């Protein structure tokens, strides 16, 4: 039987829909009208007592019903419940933070007093399998391709200036294979005892997440990144616990974990997004005659740098076959003159590490565990809550649309350390073959495998002049394309083999007959 696909709405159309909410408009109804394959849309505006029939929303100033929220976004156990439906109107009737009033969900700052910085079991997951099957019977996962991207979009609103940097809250697309719900990881080591050093705060240590792109800073504390597992997950949001220096001794800032940038999890590691980290960029548009470039005293953030802003922040993932485009944009006012306003946009194209499909979406943070240097868990897994310094983060208007629907199977492509590929299940790939599992439903035919490290082109265990000779044959300069067989020498995925790729290659250099290891080349991303 020939399979038919629904018409793909252009990616930009969801942005237009999100930006067009006005009093009386029904946000999720408008999203569904524009995207026939709407897998999920939740503006949180029906979570009141005695809600009207969908698509009508609860009336302004109605009473939130937390149980209705927990029905759609269930928790495992109530051990703090940091996320609650929030009434978003002033007594005057003016909206405060909502993308679509009257409700948002609020991730509260502070900590569970019985659990320090941790929530033991609370999590807010939404199983999407019934939603997917309703669109096409027999299907239970969704994925993105170049021809049919999967689009996730939502809105943050931070309303305590500067406090957003101390928050942890992200949106997580993951796979539930019937055995485990594999959310983005928050396994960590504890920082130094801040209270033991003068001027470093009174905490006895903050978590530092190990599975991140600058984990080489934590060498000797965290296990090597390549030894940590691939997860069936992609996530985006805010995550203060990526801070590798949370005590901030000697700095004139709050002595607590903080992060000034949007973050992204690619299936293997968290990235703190900054300019020039991946192919991308940004724009700045001056509004109402504001000067451009902005005066220095305005403190307007740099376009393309993914700086978090005190106000409404819109985030979008466009998930394609091998990459994910991350977009983040907001309107920022001049600090010294709020009549001067600027629209800031940031975007980056990031290679996927997990290539399989998704059937679960979650809000908040995933469970983590303190690790020893071998990567073994030292105690119970729990969720990392805000660190007590963050303000209250609002979330609104979550939508997941388009993509390709499929059926989950346990097998997929397994990339071995020598760059070859075989198809097997996750457990066999990881524990028997010591491989990198690309995800369920993937095949060797559509998976690019590279040796570990990628720079070992002749796969003899070292990175030396022979490998550099192979790299030279692939060199094309910027925007020169990637010759067939040279894909592994383009680690930044920007469509050429240039000086940036050489820098990554050189960081893995060992010399002849010197076996490569992450300890020997800590700056190398293998």
Three-class DSSP labels, 285-320: EEECCCCCCCCHHHCCCCCCCCECCCCEEEEEEEEC
The answer on pLDDT for 110 being more than 90 is no
Q: What is the mean pLDDT of residues 88-113?
A: 74
The Cα-based distances of 352 to 116, 130, 213 in angstroms read 34, 26, 14
Name the DSSP letter for residue 37.
S
pLDDT of residue 23: 40
Q: What is the mean pLDDT of residues 321-340?
A: 92
The answer on pLDDT for 389 being more than 60 is yes
pTM for the whole structure? 0.80
The answer to whether the CB of 445 falls within 8 A of the CB of 435 is: no
Q: What whole-number distance in Å separates Cα of residue 210 and Cα of residue 244?
A: 9
Name the DSSP letter for residue 133.
H
The answer to whether the CB of 297 falls within 8 A of the CB of 336 is: yes
Domain boundaries, the chain: 12-406, 409-449, 451-526
Band of residue 372 on the pLDDT scale cut at 50, 70, 90: confident
Band of residue 13 on the pLDDT scale cut at 50, 70, 90: very low
The answer to whether the CB of 178 falls within 8 A of the CB of 169 is: no
Q: What whole-number distance in Å separates Cα of residue 144 and Cα of residue 357?
A: 8
pLDDT of residue 114: 39
Name the DSSP letter for residue 179.
S
Cis ω on the peptide bond leading into residue 175 (within 30° of 0)?
no
Report CA Rg, the chain.
23
Task: State the average pLDDT for the chain.
Answer: 84
The answer to whether the CB of 351 falls within 8 A of the CB of 138 is: no
The answer to whether the CB of 232 falls within 8 A of the CB of 175 is: yes
Coil, helix or strand for 28? helix
Looking at mean pLDDT, say which of 90-94, 126-130, 374-378 comes out highest.
126-130
Taking residue 133's Cβ as centre, other Cβ atoms within 10 Å add up to: 14
Tokens encoding 505: 């290659």
The H or E element containing residue 422 is strand 421-425
Percent helix / strand / coil, the chain, rounded to 5 = 15, 30, 55
pLDDT of residue 81: 58
Tokens encoding 259: 């992060």
Tokens encoding 417: 């350390």
Q: Tell me which residue of 143, 109, 354 sits closest to 238, measured CA to CA.
A: 109
Q: What is the mean pLDDT of residues 322-341?
A: 92
Share of the chain above pLDDT 70, in %: 89
pLDDT of residue 153: 97
pLDDT of residue 434: 83
pLDDT of residue 208: 93
Taking residue 87's Cβ as centre, other Cβ atoms within 10 Å add up to: 19
Q: What is the mean pLDDT of residues 116-145?
A: 82
């Amino acid at each position: 039987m020939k399979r038919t696909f629904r018409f793909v709405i252009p990616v930009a159309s969801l942005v237009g829909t999100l930006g067009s909410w006005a009093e009386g408009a029904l946000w999720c109804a408008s999203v569904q009208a524009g995207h026939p394959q709407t897998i999920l849309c939740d503006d949180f505006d029906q979570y009141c007592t005695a809600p009207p029939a969908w698509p009508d929303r609860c009336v302004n100033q109605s009473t939130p019903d937390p149980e209705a929220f927990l029905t759609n976004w269930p928790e495992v156990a109530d051990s703090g419940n940091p996320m609650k439906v929030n009434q978003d109107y002033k007594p005057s009737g003016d909206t405060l933070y909502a993308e679509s009033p009257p409700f948002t969900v609020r991730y509260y700052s502070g900590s569970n007093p019985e659990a320090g910085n941790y929530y033991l079991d609370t999590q807010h997951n939404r199983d999407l399998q019934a939603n997917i099957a309703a669109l096409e019977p027999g299907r239970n996962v969704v994925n993105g391709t170049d021809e049919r991207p999967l689009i996730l979009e939502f809105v943050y609103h931070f309303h305590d200036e500067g406090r957003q940097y101390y928050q942890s809250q992200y949106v997580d697309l993951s796979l539930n294979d019937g055995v485990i719900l594999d959310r983005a990881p928050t396994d960590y080591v504890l920082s130094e005892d801040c209270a033991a050093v003068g001027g470093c705060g009174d905490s006895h240590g903050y978590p530092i997440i190990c599975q991140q792109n600058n984990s080489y800073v934590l060498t000797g504390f965290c296990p090597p990144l390549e030894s940590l597992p691939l997860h069936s997950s992609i996530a985006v949001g805010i995550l203060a616990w990526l801070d590798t220096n949370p005590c901030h001794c000697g700095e004139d800032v709050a002595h607590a974990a903080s992060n000034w940038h949007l973050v992204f999890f690619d299936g293997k590691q968290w990235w703190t997004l900054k300019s020039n980290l991946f192919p991308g960029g940004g724009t700045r548009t001056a509004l109402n005659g504001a000067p451009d470039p902005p005066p220095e005293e305005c403190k307007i953030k740099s376009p393309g740098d993914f700086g978090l802003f005190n106000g409404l922040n819109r985030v979008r993932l466009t998930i394609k076959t091998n990459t994910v485009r991350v977009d983040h944009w907001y309107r920022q006012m001049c600090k010294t003159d709020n009549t001067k306003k600027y629209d800031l946009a940031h975007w980056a194209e990031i290679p996927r590490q997990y290539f399989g499909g998704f059937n679960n979406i979650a809000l908040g943070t995933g469970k983590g565990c303190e690790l020893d240097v071998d990567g073994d868990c030292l105690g119970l897994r729990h969720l990392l809550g805000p660190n007590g310094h963050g303000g209250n983060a609002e979330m609104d208007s979550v939508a997941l649309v388009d993509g390709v629907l499929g059926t989950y199977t346990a097998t997929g492509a397994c990339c071995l350390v020598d760059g070859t590929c075989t198809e097997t299940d996750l457990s066999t790939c990881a524990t028997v073959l010591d491989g990198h599992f690309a995800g369920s439903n993937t095949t060797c035919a559509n998976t690019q495998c590279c040796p570990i490290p990628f720079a070992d082109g002749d796969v003899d265990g070292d990175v030396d002049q022979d490998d550099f000779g192979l790299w030279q044959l692939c060199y094309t300069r910027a925007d020169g394309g990637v010759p067939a067989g040279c894909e592994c020498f383009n680690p930044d995925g920007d469509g050429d083999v240039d000086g940036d790729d050489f820098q990554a290659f050189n960081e893995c250099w060992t010399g002849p007959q010197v076996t490569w290891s992450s300890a020997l080349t800590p700056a190398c991303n293998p």
